[in-house]
Structures are given as C-alpha cells and as structure tokens.
A = this chain, B = another copy of it.
Amino acid sequence: MPTPVALQTREEIAVVPAGGAEAPCCVPAHGQDTLAATEAEALASRFKALADPNRLRILSIVSSSPEAETCVCDLSEPLGLGQPTVSHHLKIMVEAGLLNREKRGVWAYYSLVPGALDSLAATLAPKD
C-alpha cells in the first residue's frame, strides 16, 4: 500500500519564482511546502476509485459485513446491478488498493485492505 501523504505534508517541489509578466497581487510566493506532482497523481487515483456511488456502496456493504468480507454473489442484489458491472467496480477498487480479493471455490470474497481508508482519511485531515 502506498505511504499516506497528507495534503499538508511538507514536500519539496520546484517552484519558479513569480516573474513580472503579471502584477503581483497580494501574498508572498508559496508552494515550496506543498504536495509534489507525483504524489498528487497517486493520491488522485485512489480518490478516483472512490468517486463513484456504486463503489462507495460496495465499500459500505463490505465494511458493514459482520464477517468483514463479502461474497461477490451478495452484491448484485442490494446494488441492483448486474454481475459484470459489480465485477468491474470491484476490480477498480482492488487495483486502487482499497479491497482485497480472495478466491474460494467458485466465488471471490472481498474485504477492506486494513488501513487503506484510514490512510486516505489522514491525507484529508492530518492529525499533526
């Protein structure tokens, strides 16, 4: 799983000092301590996996399951979606590192990757 990166994390990025093309408006140049481009890419791809109502509902079902895992066969019905659509959404969340997939017999079972959602939450609301 990728290391959590807080939006406020201190990361060096190359900043070109503001030139004279536009009149400076207001505040000293900033940006030296902000999210680097490569980290922003990685973080954005994980938020993209959450940016779909059906995927959020799948995560909710999996996380509220008493067994801490959910059979792919138990998702179509509550979501009102066909199996291929459910599988498509599950694949995206596995690739994003949000869900684990375990095949047992004819069915695949999905569980939350431990710490994945907490890690994303920490990038939005760092504790320090």
Contact = CB atoms under 8 A, between A and B. Distances in A.
Contacts of A105: 25
Contact of A61 (B28, B31, B45): B31
Contacts of A94: none
B109 A118 contact: no
Interface size on A, as a range, is: 35 or more
A106 B25 CA distance: 9
Given A47-B50, A57-B35, A64-B33, A70 B40 contact: no
Given A26-B109, A44-B50, 14 more contacts: A13-B78, A16-B78, A17-B77, A27-B66, A30-B70, A30-B74, A34-B64, A35-B57, A43-B56, A44-B53, A47-B56, A48-B51, A117-B125, A124-B124
Interface of A: 7-9, 13, 15-19, 22, 24-31, 33-35, 37, 40-41, 43-45, 47-48, 50-57, 59-61, 63-67, 70-71, 73-74, 77-78, 105-107, 109, 117-118, 120-122, 124-125
